[in-house]
């Protein structure tokens, strides 16, 4: 008969896998297990679908992918014959009941249990019902060295389907939960409340292990934690950082309690948003094999914060900033761009666009005869700049960082095949006023893991001056848009909260302004469909979370 453990040392592996890199993910898992073994762990808890990377999306439909994941799982299980820690690790498994989002529990050189996710999320950024089948039934706890461990998987604890309560009724003593929970602002508080609710219902302590790293638009921020049976925070791991932390749990008459574990400080709002953008850019560039990046540095706030993010994420030597002046580019912008590049220490080139723009205008003279000069001519400037950046990208293999904020993308104040050119946008989900807030924060702080310098990296004049695209004489953004504090509030009401026009007007906004912004939001959908991916920061980003039709005549005129 197996002797019951009175002390259980559980390692939480909060790591950064890469979707599709099965051998690389297995190597990370092995390294983490070796680290946990050195720390005296009994078992290592990894995150959801770790061997595949999360979310694998339609890769799950490829038989060769599933076969490679299962082989990696079997190989990892065989490692546990060394007498070291057992492992709980996520992987897709194809079984008679379907293809499941699963975990294997391995110990003593073999797989001692499999568990399948029951509640498949199908909202927002999640689309698991497309590729997975739900587990056929709730499976009981796993007996690991005399301890009965329940293993619900991510969404199994988010809904009200009674999985945790059922596990408790079937004898589970503690719940270990692998998760792939993406970041959005204040998401940690939401996770804590979800777990507390389940702990209240089932009466068991719960360990919540969360993935780390960027995967396309999604950012996984780690911040793994546990809530004890007494509903208090038992331990809290760091946010946005790799970690293999071993926690010590003691058996008592009242159940398992955590006697040792980390208690990391969670960043405040600005730091968390900045680090999410930084991590997203770093992982997108590195995981896709780009050696360096290039961006247009205009002297404006958006390109300045993107330059700071690029240097922080990748290092000054991997960023090339290019100023592309035309006749409307002010002396202030030339100075501000140069000062920004100098403060960041990155390469800075000046490539005037007078000749290419004038060449386009000359070529089109006959076709445009008799028409007034306007937005078309302004967009030619933006498209000349976009072409130059793409040429640099093609020649040197640099990824173009595009720099439009969410306010501009919402109302279509961006030029297709111009300033929208690029491979990735780190501020795509930040409204303009949030860009200002993060710029001020960065000038006073250097985030952990940043490769950039301390001090003022975004010149004060860039933050203080009126924003302008500088596509015509004395142009400012507020010539055709309401002030950004007003615009951003209207957009948050429309996009994040799906509020009606009457409700937005009731907040004190002018009705004509609200209806105009709503119209601009709808007619810009075709542009957003062609935009580069970018970091998700809010609850409802453009892309995965908000899927409006391009052809759409609805307007709220009730």
Tell me how far apart the alpha carbons of residues 162 and 177 are, in angstroms, rounded to a whole number. Answer: 15
Residue 90, SS3 per DSSP: strand
* CB contact at 8 A, 396 and 290: no
For residue 319, give the H/E element and its range: strand 319-323
| Angle formed at CA 45 by CA 39 and CA 50, multiple of 5 degrees | 120
Same domain, 312 and 210: no
Residue 475, pLDDT score? 55
Catalytic residue chosen out of the listed positions 48, 173, 217, 378: 48
Same domain, 362 and 337: yes
Residue 73, SS3 per DSSP: helix
201 is known to lie in a ligand binding site: no
- The percent of residues in the chain predicted with pLDDT above 90, rounded, is 85
* CB contact at 8 A, 401 and 306: yes
For residue 406, give the H/E element and its range: helix 406-411
When the pLDDT of each residue in the chain is averaged and rounded to a whole number, the result is: 93
Same domain, 256 and 275: no
* Residue 137 clears pLDDT 90, i.e. is over it: no
- The residue segments making up the domain with residue 202 are 8-262
Residues 298-330: tens digit of each pLDDT? 999 999 999 999 999 999 999 999 999 998 888
Indicate whether 361 belongs to any domain: yes
CATH number at residue 202: 3.60.110.10
Indicate whether 140 belongs to any domain: yes
CATH number at residue 378: 3.40.50.620
Determine which of 30-34, 154-158, 172-176 has the lowest per-residue pLDDT on average.
Answer: 154-158
302 is known to lie in a ligand binding site: yes
Residue 476, pLDDT score? 64
* Residue 478 clears pLDDT 70, i.e. is over it: no
Q: Give 393's pLDDT tier (boundaries 50, 70, 90).
A: very high
Beta strand segments in 198-309, E:
206-210, 212-215, 218-221, 225-227, 233-236, 243-252, 255-260, 293-296
413: CB partners within 8 A, 6+ apart: 407, 469, 477, 481
Same domain, 82 and 151: yes
Residue 338, pLDDT score? 96
397 is known to lie in a ligand binding site: no
Indicate whether 555 belongs to any domain: no
Residue 63, pLDDT score? 96
Same domain, 244 and 338: no
Query: Does 277 participate in catalysis according to the annotation?
Result: no
Length of the chain: 558
Residue 468, pLDDT score? 63
Residue 1, pLDDT score? 47
- Boundary residue ending a domain (262, 284, 311): 262
379 is known to lie in a ligand binding site: yes
Same domain, 167 and 71: yes
110 is known to lie in a ligand binding site: no
| Per-residue exposure over 427-456, b if at least 16 CB sit within 10 Å of its own CB, e if not | bbbbbbbbbbbbbebbbeeebeebbbeeee
303 is known to lie in a ligand binding site: yes
Tell me how far apart the alpha carbons of residues 191 and 527 are, in angstroms, rounded to a whole number. Answer: 34
Indicate whether 556 belongs to any domain: no
Q: Looking at residues 22-49, what average pLDDT do you find?
A: 97
Tell me how far apart the alpha carbons of residues 341 and 349 are, in angstroms, rounded to a whole number. Answer: 10
* Residue 364 clears pLDDT 60, i.e. is over it: yes
* Residue 160 clears pLDDT 90, i.e. is over it: no
Peptide bond into 554 cis (omega under 30): no
408 is known to lie in a ligand binding site: yes
Q: Looking at residues 345-366, what average pLDDT do you find?
A: 94
* CB contact at 8 A, 447 and 271: yes
Same domain, 256 and 320: no
Catalytic residue chosen out of the listed positions 28, 69, 114, 117: 117
Same domain, 243 and 339: no
Q: Report the number of distinct structural domains present in the chain.
A: 2
Query: Does 117 participate in catalysis according to the annotation?
Result: yes
Same domain, 25 and 117: yes
Q: Which residue intervals of 291-353 are DSSP H helices? A: 301-314, 331-344
Residue 472, pLDDT score? 55
165 is known to lie in a ligand binding site: no
46: CB partners within 8 A, 6+ apart: 13, 15, 29, 32, 87, 88, 89, 90, 178, 209
Indicate whether 553 belongs to any domain: no
Catalytic residue chosen out of the listed positions 69, 70, 128, 154: 154
Indicate whether 115 belongs to any domain: yes
23 is known to lie in a ligand binding site: no
296 is known to lie in a ligand binding site: yes
Same domain, 56 and 165: yes
pTM for the complete prediction?
A: 0.94
Residues 258-290: tens digit of each pLDDT? 999 999 999 999 999 999 999 999 999 999 999
Q: Greatest CA separation found in the chain?
A: 94
Residues 7-21: tens digit of each pLDDT? 999 999 999 999 999
Indicate whether 340 belongs to any domain: yes
Residue 471, pLDDT score? 59
Structure token pair of residue 398: 């640099």
Tell me how far apart the alpha carbons of residues 39 and 443 are, in angstroms, rounded to a whole number. Answer: 39
Tell me how far apart the alpha carbons of residues 337 and 300 are, in angstroms, rounded to a whole number. Answer: 8
Residue 122, pLDDT score? 84
Of 486, 487, 494, 490, the closest CA to residue 542 belongs to 494
550 is known to lie in a ligand binding site: no
């Amino acid at each position: 008969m197996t002797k019951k453990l009175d002390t259980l040392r559980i390692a939480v592996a909060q790591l950064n896998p890469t979707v599709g890199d099965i051998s690389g993910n297995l190597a990370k898992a092995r390294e983490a297990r070796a680290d946990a073994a050195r720390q005296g762990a009994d078992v290592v808890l990894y995150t959801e679908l770790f061997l595949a990377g999360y979310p694998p999306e339609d890769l799950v439909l490829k038989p060769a992918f599933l076969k490679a994941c299962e082989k990696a799982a079997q190989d990892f299980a065989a490692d546990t014959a060394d007498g070291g820690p057992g492992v709980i690790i996520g992987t897709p498994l194809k079984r008679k009941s379907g293809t499941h989002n699963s975990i294997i529990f391995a110990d003593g050189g073999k797989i001692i249990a499999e568990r399948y996710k029951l509640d498949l999320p199908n909202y927002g950024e999640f689309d698991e019902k497309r590729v997975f089948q739900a587990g056929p039934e709730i499976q009981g706890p796993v007996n690991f060295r005399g301890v009965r461990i329940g293993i619900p998987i991510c969404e199994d604890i988010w809904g009200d389907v009674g999985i945790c309560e059922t596990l408790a009724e079937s004898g589970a003593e503690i719940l270990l939960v692998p998760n792939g929970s993406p970041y959005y602002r204040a998401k940690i508080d939401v996770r804590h409340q979800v777990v507390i609710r389940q702990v209240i219902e089932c009466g068991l302590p719960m360990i919540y292990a969360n993935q780390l790293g960027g995967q396309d638009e999604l950012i996984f921020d780690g911040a793994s934690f546990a809530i004890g049976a007494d509903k208090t925070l038992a331990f809290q791991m760091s946010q946005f950082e790799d970690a293999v932390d071993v926690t010590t749990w003691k058996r008592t008459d009242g159940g398992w309690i955590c006697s040792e574990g980390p208690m990391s400080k969670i960043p405040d709002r600005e730091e968390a948003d900045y680090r999410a953008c930084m991590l997203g850019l770093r992982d997108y560039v590195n995981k896709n094999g780009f050696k360096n990046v290039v961006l247009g540095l205009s002297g404006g706030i958006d390109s300045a914060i993107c330059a700071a993010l690029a240097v922080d994420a990748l290092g000054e030597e991997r960023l090339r900033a290019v100023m592309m002046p035309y006749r409307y580019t002010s002396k202030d912008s030339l100075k501000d761009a140069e000062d920004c590049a100098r403060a960041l220490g990155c390469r800075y080139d000046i490539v005037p666009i007078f000749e290419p723009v004038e060449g386009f205008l000359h070529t089109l003279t006959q076709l445009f005869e008799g028409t007034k000069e306007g937005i078309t001519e302004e967009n030619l400037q933006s498209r000349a700049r976009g072409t130059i950046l793409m040429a640099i990208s093609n020649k040197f293999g640099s990824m173009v960082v595009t720099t439009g904020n969410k306010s501009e993308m919402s109302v279509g104040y961006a030029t297709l095949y111009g300033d929208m050119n690029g491979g990735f946008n780190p501020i795509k989900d930040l409204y303009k006023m949030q860009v200002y807030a993060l710029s001020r924060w960065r000038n006073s702080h250097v985030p952990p893991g940043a490769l950039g310098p301390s001090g003022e990296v975004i010149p004060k004049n860039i933050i203080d001056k009126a924003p302008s695209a500088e596509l015509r004489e004395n142009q400012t953004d507020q010539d055709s848009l309401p002030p950004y504090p007003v615009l951003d509030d209207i957009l948050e009401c429309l996009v994040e909260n799906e509020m009606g026009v009457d409700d937005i007007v009731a907040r004190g906004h002018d009705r004509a302004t609200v209806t105009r912004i709503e119209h601009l939001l709808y007619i810009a959908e075709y542009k957003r469909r062609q935009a580069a991916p970018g970091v998700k920061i809010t609850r409802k980003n453009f892309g995965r979370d908000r899927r409006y039709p391009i052809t759409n005549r609805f307007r709220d005129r009730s």
